[in-house]
């Protein structure tokens, strides 16, 4: 499988020619309850994922500027604006890695998970899954 093109990195101590791996964080909460709080469940999920991305900075991981949040949307359907924007950006080659706090934040339906994996696989982004956080790595990262 060919190596996907990655963007040039900002200086990060990895030397000239280092590449940035663009990481998208996806968050979801089924109900709107509590979303009005200054720091809510979506914020907590995003913070944990951002910390993980930071821990991989030495590998060139960097969060994308866009937020992919679906507050008040069930994981039992793919009809979510944040997920649709994320999948469109994956298909457009704007994302190299997707990080979610837990697998059930991405979807609760096995059939939808298969659809998502097909989209990611088509973009060359599927290779390993972590049990605590779903981390869909590009195939070239092995």
pLDDT in tens, 83-105: 999 999 999 999 988 888 888 89
Nearest CA among 95, 99, 70, 71 for reference residue 82: 70
CA distance 75 to 86: 15
The residue that leads in pLDDT, 82 or 142, is 82
For the chain, give every domain's residue range: 7-141
| Cβ-Cβ contacts under 8 Å for 118 (sequence gap 6 or more) | none
In 41-121, at which residue ranges do the beta strands (DSSP E only) sit?
61-63, 68-71, 97-100
Q: Which residue has the higher pLDDT, 61 or 140?
A: 61
- Tokens representing residue 86 in the block: 């994320």
CATH number of 7-141: 3.40.50.1390
Contact at 8 Å (CB) between 132 and 58? no
């Amino acid at each position: 499988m060919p190596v996907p093109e990655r963007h040039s990195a900002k200086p990060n101590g990895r030397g000239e020619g280092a590449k940035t791996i663009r990481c998208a964080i996806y968050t979801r909460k089924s109900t709107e309850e509590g979303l009005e709080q200054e720091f809510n469940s979506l914020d907590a999920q995003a913070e944990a994922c951002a910390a993980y991305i930071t821990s991989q900075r030495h590998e060139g991981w960097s969060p994308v500027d866009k937020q992919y949040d679906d507050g008040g949307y069930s994981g039992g359907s793919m009809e979510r604006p944040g997920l649709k924007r994320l999948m469109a950006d994956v298909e457009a080659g704007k994302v190299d890695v997707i990080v979610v706090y837990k697998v059930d934040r991405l979807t609760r339906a096995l059939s939808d998970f298969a659809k998502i994996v097909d989209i990611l696989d088509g973009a060359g982004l599927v290779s390993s899954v972590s049990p605590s956080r779903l981390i869909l790595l590009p195939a070239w990262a092995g």
